[in-house]
Every structure is written in structure tokens, then in C-alpha cells.
Structure 1
Amino acid sequence: MADVENKKSQKPKSTVLGSTISIFFIGIDEFCEHCIRSMIPLFLRIFFNWYDLTTTVHQIFVALSYLTPIFGALIADLWLGKFKTIVYLSIVYVLGQIVLTISSIHDITDSNQDGIPDNIPIHMALSMIGLSLFTLGTGGIKPCVAAFGGDQFLEHEKKKRSIFFSVFYFSMNAGMLLSIFIRPKLSAHHCGIHTKQLCFPLTFGVPAAVMAVGLVVFIVGSRLCIKVPPQRNILVKVCCCIGFAIKNRFLHRDPVYPRRKHWMDWAEEKHDKLLIAQVKMVLKVLFLFIPLPLFWALIREQSRWIFQAEHMNGDFGLFVIQPGQMQTLGPIMILVLVVIMESIIYPLVAKCNLNFTPLKRMTVGMFLTALAFISAAVVQLQIDRTLTDFPSANNGQAKFINLQNKPMFVGAGEYNFPLAPFEAKGYMNFDKPFHLNLGSGSEYLVNVMKKSRSSIVIFQDEEIVKAVMFSDASAKPWNGENKIRFLNGYGLSLDISGGVQSFGNVSSNDMSHYIYIPQGEAKFLIRDDRGEVCQYNLSLGFSSAYTLIIPSTFTFERCKESIIAEMDISPNSVHIAWQIPQYFLIAAGEVMFSVTGLEFTYTQTPSNMKSMLQAGWLFTYAVAVIFAAIFPDAWRLQVQWAEYILFASLLVVVCIIFAINARFYLRAGVMPPSP
């Protein structure tokens, strides 16, 4: 009863302040964690040239950040209590950020001032120490902050506590969203004493300063918070109770002994009924957690939606959304839906007298997540209908361009076709070398490389008709950008530029290299040696490729009419807005599942083991991360929409398993107090 009496004795204290501090602190934590975590892969690649190890190292530290909550929970529930654990591990957290910041300062060991550290092992050791401390700190405080906030409410304040966990989750996603917007601004800076490089010290140092300030605010405001003391030997008691029950059941396995209602009842000979009841509660909750690692592993696959967005059109007219920016939609929708669910949906359901229990909410959340992947599959089917047919591993493709100001007839292997002046024809598939017949005795043996695309340009060189092959773009450009190049059929060399980029001086009957141009109105300047200049404008969509043909009839006075825009890869046509339903469904599912899960885990466990069960909740996510790291291609399919359907099907299976487990979950009435 000591714990309950402790809370009652502190009833006059401000519980609002304690919960507010927890909400503020978790927002700070999420902001700092995502700022640093998102920069780690780039830091390892650029600073240490770890191109092959980057993904593995990053996944290891992500997994550890969800395993270390067990360590933090043990300290909180058995030794220091939640408040001191948060403070001490936050100091470790900040120290890790400081060490990581120091490790990223290349000038420390750059004695010859060439911009390259002279002693990479020192930087490597510091970065690993910093990352380890950072991981221990951020993981260790995760279960304690939520449980500490929940402790600020008395037993009769269930509604306030429910609102707290919603606002708590709101704060987590607000911090994450803030990091998405601020981190690119930090990482865009260059700094250094001798040479200017990407400013990793700024990117790591700012979150360290923010976390330090947040820790000070947390400590200063904590004097009015409820601090539940730890039960120092509770874990030992639980383990002994479970061990004795198993041992006693084994010794009394003979049918002559009467059966007991629950296998933990075999511990009654040695342990009191209160402890046995508490252990039963913990085991029931842990039993519900069994399917969660698979659920989290599938949820992580929504990261593939970014690649889906790469094949979509993000032009909304008044503004443009780049494919990589769609990931911000998830946190934004979560912020909105947390408010809507808590202020409108749940109260409305309660007024309708529907028995919408926490476990039912979580089940519905899982089902909505499955629907999100079905929506993604439908969108993918629409995208697949518009995708360019690229060559396979068994063939290559070739396009034929007539750069002459006269029609001609071409024979290319089994293909025979006419070409008008300055016309392009293709792409055609070739699985072996072929004879190219251009008439007038001009014949070539052409070998198109497999899995590649080429343009065969046909032009008149004095009395001979010649053909030259150029490599083409063989895949969609990423990040919504467009690949543009020029084919000069004009009689003179031309200097061509696009914005700040230059195609260089393109000789007659030659092809320039590709340059990347973003979506929008592109402007190109074309100059010749005589000083004549013209501007050519081209409206570009997303992820296309063009060969801009300058024919022999080109004139600077009629620049736009003279140039022929030959499309090599068509722009994305399916609008990115079709992804909104899937982001809405998965955000709604996450709010109903995760927010409710946090609250359920807190309320359904004894007060002396709340941090431990919060850590158990986070541990299920760690298992999912480890699984993804060990088996990265566990459910890869060649057809993307079929892969999304597979994810949806597996989520439905997880949903059914969880619903069955929830059906047999028996709540033990009023939760017994801690001894």
C-alpha cells in the first residue's frame, strides 16, 4: 500500500506540471534523436568512407536504442526510480552527443591542413564511444519518461491520464517533424578552420545544446512532481515466483494432484497471492506482445512508399511536393489525428455506448494499417501502367535518330522502317548483335549492350551516311529530377548551358552529356562562335529524360520552333496526391494502436513494474529492427504491388492473432496495489 499512500499524500502537488514536463521532455528527446540518427549514415559515409558498412552500423545502433530501454527500466524500477534514471541517463545522452560532436571536427587531427584528418582511428573511436553513450541514453530514458508522466495522475484521474498519453505521443511526433525541417538546414552549412566541409559539428552540437537545456528545465520543474519510489527487490521476487511455480508444477505433474486454475497458482505454497496476481498481470500483457515484432517489421516497410513517390507527379499547381517530402505527411497526419481522435472520435463513440475497449482500438488500428498497404498496392497498379519499358537482363534497346534533312529507310535486324527528316524511332529490343542497313552501301554490325539503352544517330558525312551510337538513360532519374542532353545537328559547335550548369561545347553531329534539371520551366542558353545567342524553354515534369535535337535547319531567330524535344523517358503521370489515403490510414492505425498501447501497457501493470513493461513494449520494436537487419530481403517480391498485398495479408494475420489473444485476455478487476 506504500505506493498508493505515497501518491495520496502528494495529492495537493501539481500533477499537471509533472505530465507537462514529461511531454516537453519527450518532444526534446525525439527532436534530438531524429536529428542525430538521420545524419549518422551520411556522417559515416563521408567522414570515414564506410559505404558498405554504413547501413549495418546504423541498424545496429537503431536496434540498440530499442534494446537499452530494458536497462533503463531495470535501473528505474529496481534502484534509482524513474526521475533519477531520467536525469542520470540524460546526462549520459548529452555526453554522447558532445563526444560525437568532437569526433566530427576534422581540424582536431588535421596537422597538414589539407582537410583530411591525419588520425582517423581517433575520430572513429570517439564516434563509436559517442554513439554508444547516445544510444544508451536515448534508449534508457524512453520507458521512464512515459511511465513518469503517467505517475502524475491519481487512480481516479483515468480520463486525464488517457489524454496525457495522446498528448505524449503528439509531442513525440512533433519533435520528429521538427527535426525533419530543421536537420536539412543544419546539414547544409559548411565549416572548418582550414578547409570548409559539411558541418557535422553543428548538426550534432545543436541537438546536444537543446537536450542540455531540456534537461535543466526538467530538473528545475521536477520539484513539484510526484516521484514514485522504486521497489528494489521486485524483479528478484518476480523471477523467484515464476521459477518456483514452474518447479512446483513439474514436481506435481502426476494426475493424482488436483489441477489449479492457473499455472502460477502453483507458487501459492511459498509466495503471497498479491505477488502472484501481479505476475499474472505482467505475463498476460507480455502474452499480448507476442505478435507485435512482426507488426512493427511490416510497419517499417512503409519506407518503400518514398520510392513509390519517385514515380509520381508532385505538382499541385500552387506548390510542388518532391518525392522525399512525402514522408513528412505521416507525422503531420498523426499530429492532426491525435487531436481528432481524443476530442471527437472517442467521445462520440462513448456517447453511443459502444464498448470500444483499448484492445479493440489496437485491433482496429492494426486493421487500418493493413488497409493502408492495400491502398498502396492499388496506387502501385496505376503507376505500373505508366512505367517505361526498360530493357531486361536478356536484351538491350536502341532508338534510331535521322539527323539528315531528308527521309530515309532503315533496316535494323528484323526491323525495317522509314525515318522522316529529324525523326526518332524506338526504342526497339535486341537480344543479339544485328546488321544496320542505311542504304547506299552503308551497313554496320551493331551490338547493343544488355540491360542498357542506346541512341543510334544517323547523319551525312560528305558523301557517306554514318551511324554513331550513344548511351541513353536506362532508369528513371531519382528525386523527381529530369535528365536532359543536347544532340547537335547544326553545322557549327555550340556552347550550351542550363541555369548554372553547362553542357560544354557540343561539336557538330555530337551528343552532350546528361545534366539533371528539376521540375518546372527549364531555360537553356545556346551560343555559337560568332556570338549569336538564343534561349530555349522547356516545361519539365518529374523524372523524365529528353534528348533535345538541334537540326541542321536550326536558326537563332526561331530557336524554340527549331529545336525538337525527343522524349527518352516519359515524366510521371500518376499524381502524388493518390498517396494521401495510405498515409491517412497508416497514421490513423498508428494513433489507435501506439497511443492506446502506451496507455494500456501503463495501466495494466503493477506500479512497481511500469517502466519494465514500457521497455517490453519498446523491445518488440527492437526485435523487428534486428529481424530487418538480419533478413533484409525476407519478403522481397519482383512485383511491387504484390509485395504490398503480401504486407497487408501478413498484417491481417497479425491482427487476427492479436484479436484472439485479446479475446482471452482477462483483466483482473481492480489492479492490486504494490506491496
Structure 2
Amino acid sequence: MSTTLPCKLSYPKSIWLIFGNEFCERFSYHGLKCILVLFFVTVQKYDHDTSTVIYHVFMVCAYIAPFFGAIAADSYWGKYKTIFILSIVHAIGNIMVAVASFATSISLGFQRSFTIAGLLLTAIGAGGIKPCISAFGGDQFVLPEQNDQLNKFFSIFYFAVNLGGLVSTFITPELRKSVQCFGEDSCFPLAFGTPATLMLISIVLFVFGKSLYKIKKPTTSIITSSIGCIFRAIKNKITITSEVEKKYWLEYADDKYSNREIFELRSALDVMYLFIPLPIFYMLFDQQGSRWTLQGTLMNGRIDFLNWTIKPDQIHMLNSLFVIILLPLFDIAVYPILYKIGINTSIRKITLGGLFAALAFVCTATVQYTIFGQSFLALSTNEGNILRIYNGFGCKVTVSDPSVGNNFTIQSLDVLDINYYGPVSNETGVLSVYIDPMCELKTNTLNQRVSIAKEKVSSYILQSNTASNGDGIIQLKRLRELKKLKNGNPNLRFLCDERSTGRYITLRDVNNKLSEINIRLSPDTEDQSYETPIGTYNLYVDGEYLSQTVDLLPASVNDLLLRPDHKLHDNARLITTEKGKYIHILWQVPQTLFISIAEVMFVVTLLNFSFTQAPSSMKSIISAFNLFTQGVGNILIIIVAKMNLFENRGHEFLFYAILMIFSMIVFMLMSAKYKFKSATDDHTADDENNA
């Protein structure tokens, strides 16, 4: 009698090409995505809310596309052909965005439309590939002989995904900001062109291994058959009258579908039912590339000892780095501890992960409040009843207010705040103004009543009345109140009389000569304000340099006083009435760490839960539905952004944290009666149904 030992199968060589393909494809996708919002804001001149909406519409398309990719792979083209075709679509989309980023000679409207078309193709390609590539890699193994090797494949595959994201979120922001091209202070064409090049390389790597791949022909798609079963059951339940009532509504499709098909679909729907509150998590998770990046633009990324600046779209490379570190750490150390305290099921780990996401947004809100210089629950930065008077003259002014009983002196191009304690009426007593004779005005005195709003700032400016040959006559003009912009950028207004109308103001960044702001003064300039980037600027009036610099800080309210004198030096002054804090961007590390912990506990555990709890023939539809919940989460972000519910972004971040906690409570209640399935449940259930 003789025995034959089984030969150990070698690791498929084609797998390494799939790893390289996935690394390049994820580099391309994450590299494009991480700089997208700043491209919308700085180059295509969208506001922050519109930029956020477009970004998340792109994400929605990327997470709806997996349904179509899965159907095409399973029913029509097969996995290889689907990946190849959609990779080409992905690459074309990337190239279109790169072309749009340097096509500055065309109209802005056409540039925007061309970008949107490129992003749509990118989303279709990247999303359609997503459910196919890992399954295609799994097809290369012989089962059950290579079960252990298959498990290692998925671990290395997930590592390649995160490594691609890590490298791209470091390199592309560096190319965007550290390189100048085409006369601009940044180089978006290079930053977008690099991911496009990596996408082309990914196609070459994928096609190069065609002779090595095991290519399976498509079979009937479980997605299409499941949808057919659902509609058949609904139709029969409505149209067919039966004396025997079915126990479960899907059983009404038993005239066309087998008991096993109905049972598996029912099991899948039980899992999908638990997915209902989960899109809320992705409302938080996917804001790393939008709201968190915009928050980073308000922060100081300078690291002096490295002579390097962390870019606002670069800090979130820490997310991929943390995930790579945390995955083995949780398996080795954290989960054994959690098991001992009762967190020993997938549902409980998912719930705890959701709470960490809420904690991440509490940190995000705290950072936002700190930038704005507000307390955690402050609704307004204004306190008291304040009369604010700007002196627009080139000499000092004396103001007398009988209701306060004091005389106040305001220096040239300066401001005075008079705080009225206690209750105020609509008007004070007559305000007396005396102008220093050095100003050589027609009149040196003015008596005028002023209005003071309760618990607000009421602002006036002293300047010459130039209307109807009134030059040299004093006027006290009411100004509208400026508020901090909710996105945290500086708010800037120019205060001058009508003699400055038509002048051109240029603010040129002292650290980047290619970055400048150009504004033409108009008659209603005092009723207008301008959103400007944070920075220190040299000031020019009609091309002539003024001796002072202008420092615009985060969450600041600024007035630039200008005199119309022909000698411009020392005839301008920036007055910052409110300002925030210019804190370091590393303060975003805690929120990034917490969202990474949430990703490991929520996203990775949810993938495992979806795979183990789905019937063997329904794993693709569960995978596609799981990705779809992320798309729904991005739709919800768009709705909140368009509703414009909050004047302070910190309040918005707190809202998301509270919503996340509420969704986890709902998730726990919905999963209270869920019965976990084992690998043998399918066979047992099949036998029972046949009997």
C-alpha cells in the first residue's frame, strides 16, 4: 500500500502585479481626492460650502458605481475585462482634471464643467473597480488548498490600499504647494498629473500579467437575481390571493425562486437592515478631505527645525499611517482586553468605533472654537453695548459724550471703543466732535446724535463730506457691522471717502510674491467686505508701495483705513477689531487619531461582519450595499451643507458628534435581537427548508 502526499502550491506570481496595480490605483484616487477641495476654492473660485458639496457629490458617485461594476463583472464582462475597461475610464477622468487645472486661458465656466466631467469619469472608474479587484485577486488561489495564502492576500491587499493612500497624501500636496508653475503660486497641474501618471502605470501592470491570470467567465449576477426575487415577491403578494398566508413576504416568490435562494436573500436583508443607521458614520469619516482640510487652511503648519510647512491637505496622511499601525496593534493587544470587559462581538466593536468617531468630532469642534477665539458654548464674540468710532483724518480728534461724562482722544487713522454699561436707549446724548486745526478743515466741530444697538457694536467713521462741494466739512457716517466668517477666513473692509474711488488696492503675500489680491475701490466700498486668505501682505495703492505690512489672521475682522492724500506713505492703517488664534496644524492629530481608531473598529469590523454574516452566494451584494452606505453618508453631508444651518462651523461639528452618538444608540436597539450565523447555518437551513 502506498500513499501520495499533496504538493504544496506556490504563491501565484500574478498576485504581485495585482498588489502593484492596487497601490498605483489607490495612489491616483487618494492623490486626486486630497487636493480637490483646495483646487475648487483657490483655482476655480467656489466658496467653501459649494466646494464641500461638489467634493461629496464626487464621493457619492464613487460609492454608487460599485453596484454597476459588480453587475458588469458578474453578468457581462467578467472581472478582468471590467477592471481593464473601468481603469481606462478612471485614467481618462484623471487626465481631464489635470488638463483643466492648467487650462487657465479658457473661461472659468468651461474649466469648471470640464473638471466635473473628469471627476464623473474618475468616480465611475474608481468605484466600479472597487468590488472587482479584490475578488479577482481571490480568484487566483486554489481553494481550499491555499486558504492560508488567501487570508494573507487580503491582509497585504488592505496594506497596499493604505500604503497608496499614505504616500499620495504626502506627495501630491507637496507638489501642489512647494512647486510653482505657469506663473502661479502653486502647481495643481503637476499635483493632478502625478496621480494620472500612476493610473496609467496601474493599467500597464494589470495588463502585463494577463497571461498569468486565472480568468473566470461571468455567471448569473446574484445582484440582478436578488432584485428580481424581491420584485417577484412584492408582485405576487399584491396580485395573488392565497388561502395559506406565507410566514415571510419573500416566500411569495417561491413560484420562480428556490427555497434556498429565498432563504439566502432573507439572511442578506437581515444584515442590510442593520446598515440603516450606519451612513451617519460616513458623514463624519469622509469629511477628512473637505471640512477638515478647510480647517487646516486656518492653521499654522510651519516646522522651523525642518524648514518645512505641513500642508492642510497633507496632515491627513496620518490617517493611513495610524491605520497601518493600529491594525496589528488591535489584533495583538487591544481586542483581547476589550473581550475581557464584554466588547466581544462585531456589533459591540462597531458601536464603540462609532463613539470614537463622535469623539473625533468633539476634538474637531474644540479646535474650531480655539481658532475662532471663542469659549466652547459661546454664541457671539460681542459683549456689552459698544460705540465704535473710526478717525479717518490725518490728525487727532477729541470726542465728548455727556452720557459717559468723559472726553476721548482718537489719534489719526485710529479707532475708539466706548462701552456703555447697563441698559441703553436707542440714542445717546449729543456726541460732540472736535478736530485738530492741523487738518485745515472748513469746520472743526460737529454735534450729532448716534444710535447704539443693545448688546452689539455700533460703528461710525469720521471723514470729510465730499458730496456737493462739501470737501472739508466733517461727517459722522454709520457703518454696517462686520462679522467673523463662518469658514474662519479673514474678513476685510476698506474705509475711505469718495476721493479714493477708482483706486486699485493690491495685497501681495510677503512669503509668496506670486500670491496677491487685487481690489478696485468703489463708491460703496464701506458697505462691502472681502474674504481673504490668511497671510502677511505688502500694501500697494495704484502700484505704489506703502511702508507698512498687513497681517491678516484666522477668524479676524479687519478694517483698512485709507487717506486720500497724494503722499501715500503712512496714510493707511489696518485695524483688527476681532481675531482668532493661529494655532499649529498638529492640533489636528488627536482628531485624526480618534477617526483612525474609529476606522479600525468600525470599517474593518463591518467588512468582517458583512462577509461572515452574508450567505455564501450573497457576499457580493452585501459588499456593494456596504459601499453604498458610504455614498448615502456623503449625500447627507451635501444636505447639511446646503441647508446652511450653522453660522459657526464649530457648532456644525458638534452637531455631527451628537448625531453619531444618536445613530449608535439606534444601531444597538436595532441589533438587540440579531442572531449571529455560523458557517454551517447555510447548510442546516437548506436541509430544513427542503424538508
C-alpha separation between the residues in 2 aligned to 1:641 and 1:170? 29
Alignment match of 2:400 (pick from 397, 410, 432): 410
Q: 1:71 maps to what in 2?
A: 68
Equivalent position amino acid for 2:432 in 1: N
Per-residue deviation at 1:617? Answer: 2.0
- The alignment status of 1:210 with 2:198, answered yes or no, reads yes
Q: 1:384 aligns with which of 374, 381, 384?
A: 374
> Identity of counterpart residues, as a percentage?
25
Aligned amino acid, residue 218 of structure 2: P
Match of 1:442 among 446, 469, 481: 446
Equivalent residue runs for 1:476-487 within 5 Å: 476=484
Question: Is the contact between residue 442 and residue 465 of structure 1 (CA under 8 Å) also seen in structure 2?
Answer: no
Match of 2:437 in 1: none
2:500 equivalent in structure 1 = none
For residues 540 and 97 of structure 2, the distance between their equivalents in structure 1, rounded to whole angstroms, comes to: 46
Separation (CA, whole Å) in 2 of partners of 1:416 and 1:164: 77
Instruction: Please state if 1:652 is matched with 2:661.
Output: yes
The 1:148/1:449 distance shift into structure 2, 3 A limit, reads: farther
TM-score of the aligned structures, taking structure 1 as reference length: 0.70
| Partner secondary structure for residue 362 of structure 1 | helix
Q: Deviations over 1:485-505 (max 9, x none)?
A: 999xxxxxxx9998568999x
From 143, 156, 166, the equivalent of 2:131 is 143
Partner of 2:314, secondary structure, is helix
- TM-superposed deviation, 1:616: 1.8
Letter in 1 for 2:389: K
Report matched runs for 1:461-540 at 5 Å.
466=474, 474-476=482-484, 499=510
1:63 maps to a residue whose letter is V
> Equivalent of 1:295, from 264, 268, 281?
281
Residue 234 (structure 1) shift: 3.8
Partner amino acid for 1:135? A
Listed one character per residue, the Cα deviations across residues 492-542 of structure 1 (whole Å, up to 9, x for unaligned) are: xxx9998568999xxxxxx9x99999878888999xx9xxx9977899865
How many pairs does the alignment contain? 623
Shift of 1:210: 2.6
Q: Deviations over 1:550-579 (max 9, x none)?
A: 99xxxxxxx99xx99965334527666554
| Other-structure match for 2:181 | 189
Q: C-alpha distance in 2, partners of 1:54/1:379?
A: 21
Q: Is the deviation greater in 615-624 or in 230-239?
A: 230-239
What SS class does the counterpart of residue 407 from structure 2 fall into?
A: strand
SS at match of 1:399: strand
**Residues 216-268 of structure 1: per-residue CA shift (max 9 Å, x gap):** 012224544554543235445434544555677776875x66x75x6556666
Q: Which residue of 2 aligns with 1:490?
A: none
In the alignment, structure 2 segments of 5+ residues that lack a partner are 1-6, 435-443, 465-471, 497-504, 520-525, 564-568, 687-691
Name the structure 1 match of 2:417: 426
Show the counterpart of 1:554. none
Map of 1:329 onto structure 2: 315
590-599 vs 124-133, greater mean Cα deviation: 124-133
Cα displacement (A) at 1:437: 0.9
Instruction: Report the alpha carbon displacement of residue 76 of structure 1 after superposing the two structures with TM.
Output: 1.0
1:667 aligns with 2:652: no
Change (3 A) 1:285 1:21: farther
Asked whether the 8 Å contact 2:490–2:558 carries over to 1, the reply is no
> In 1, are the aligned partners of 2:359 and 2:657 still within 8 Å (CA)?
yes
Give the Cα separation in 1 of the matches to 2:538 and 2:224: 73
Q: CA deviation at 1:132?
A: 4.3
> What is the CA–CA distance in structure 1 between the aligned matches of 2:652 and 2:83, rounded to whole Å?
41
Cα distance change, pair 293–17 in 1 and its aligned pair in 2 (3 A): same
From the superposition, tell whether residues 348 and 425 of structure 1 become closer, same or farther in structure 2 (CA, over 3 Å): same
Opposite residue 651 of structure 1, the aligned amino acid is M
- Specify whether residues 15 and 417 from structure 1 end up closer, same or farther in structure 2 by C-alpha distance, changes over 3 A only: farther
Deviation at 1:75, TM superposition (A): 0.5
Quick check: 307-316 or 658-667, which moved more?
307-316
Question: Does the 8 Å CA contact 2:491/2:529 hold for their aligned counterparts?
Answer: no
- Quote the offset at 1:307 in angstroms: 6.0
Task: Give the 3-state SS of the residue equivalent to 1:63 in structure 2.
Answer: helix
Matched, 1:369 2:357: yes
Q: 1:351 to 1:152 in 2, by over 3 A?
A: farther
Structure 1 residues 16 and 427 mapped into 2: Cα distance closer, same or farther (>3 Å)?
Answer: farther
State TM-score, norm by structure 2: 0.68
Say whether the 8 Å CA contact 2:391–2:415 is kept in structure 1. Answer: yes
Q: Distance in 1 between matches of 2:114 and 2:506?
A: 48
Of 338-347 and 182-191, the range deviating more from structure 2:
182-191
Q: Provide the C-alpha distance between the structure 2 equivalents of 1:522 and 1:50, rounded to a whole number of angstroms.
A: 22
Name which of structure 1's ranges 228-237 and 304-313 shifts more when overlaid on structure 2: 304-313
- Cα distance in 2 for partners of 1:408, 1:125 equals 57
Offset at residue 369 of structure 1 (A): 0.8
How far apart, in 2, do the equivalents of 1:51 and 1:311 lie?
13
1:83 maps to: 80
Change in 2 beyond 3 A, CA 1:38/1:86: farther
Aligned-partner Cα distance in 2 for 1:431–1:168: 68
Residues 585 and 135 from structure 1, CA distance in 2 versus in 1: closer, same or farther, beyond 3 angstroms?
A: closer
- Rounded to whole Å, the distance in 1 between the matches of 2:493 and 2:87 is 51
Task: Kindly indicate whether residue 276 of structure 2 is the aligned counterpart of residue 285 of structure 1.
Answer: no
- Deviation of 1:189 (Å): 2.5
What one-letter code is carried by the residue in structure 1 that aligns with 2:16? L
Q: Which residue of 2 aligns with 1:591?
A: 600
- Structure 1 residue matching 2:628: 3-state secondary structure: helix
CA contact (8 A) 2:265 2:618 kept: no
Alignment of 1:113-152 (within 5 A): 115-116=105-106, 130-151=118-139
Determine which of 327, 337, 355 is the counterpart of 1:342. 327
User: Structure 1 residues 216 and 502, CA, compared in 2 at 3 Å: closer, same or farther?
Assistant: closer
Supply the distance in 1 between the matched residues of 2:445 and 2:57 (Cα, whole angstroms): 64
Work out whether 1:238 is the aligned partner of 2:226: yes
Q: Which amino acid aligns with 1:572?
A: K
SS at match of 1:619: helix
- CA–CA distance in structure 1, aligned partners of residues 675 and 159 of structure 2: 27
Mean CA deviation greater in 402-411 or 133-142: 402-411
Show CA shifts across 1:175-212 (max 9, x none). Answer: 65146515625995328xxxx99987666554433311
Asked whether 1:456 is paired with 2:440, we answer no
Give the secondary-structure state (helix, strand or coil) at the position aligned to 1:329. Answer: coil
Query: Secondary structure of 1:328's match?
Result: coil
Aligned residue in 2 for 1:177 = 169
The amino acid that maps onto 2:121 is L
The amino acid across from 1:339 in the alignment is: I
Structure 1: which amino acid aligns with 2:90? Y
Cα distance, 1:66–1:200 mapped onto 2, change above 3 Å: same
Whether the 8 Å contact between 1:90 and 1:138 is mirrored in structure 2 is yes
Where structure 1 has 5 or more consecutive residues not aligned to the other structure, the ranges are 1-7, 108-114, 488-494, 505-510, 552-558
Q: 1:161 to 1:399 in 2, by over 3 A?
A: farther
* Contact 2:386-2:418 within 8 A present in 1 as well: no
Match of 1:492 in 2: none
Q: Which moved more, 1:52-61 or 1:26-35?
A: 52-61
Kept in 1, the 8 Å contact 2:294–2:312? The answer is no
> 1:144 is matched by which residue type in structure 2?
C
Q: Distance in 2 between matches of 1:103 and 1:543?
A: 32
* Range with greater deviation from structure 2 (123-132 or 165-174): 123-132
SS at 2:315 equivalent: helix
**C-alpha distance in 2 between matches for 1:285 and 1:267:** 20
1:626 aligns with 2:642: no
Kindly state the Cα deviation for residue 368 of structure 1 after the two structures are TM-superposed. 0.7
Distance 1:565 1:253 in 2: 82
Does the 8 Å CA contact 2:41/2:48 hold for their aligned counterparts?
Answer: no
SS at match of 1:666: coil
Once residues 151 and 158 of structure 1 are traced to their aligned partners in structure 2, the CA distance between those partners, rounded to angstroms, is 9
After superposition, the CA RMSD in angstroms is 5.9
The equivalences for 1:310-325 within 5 A come to 325=311
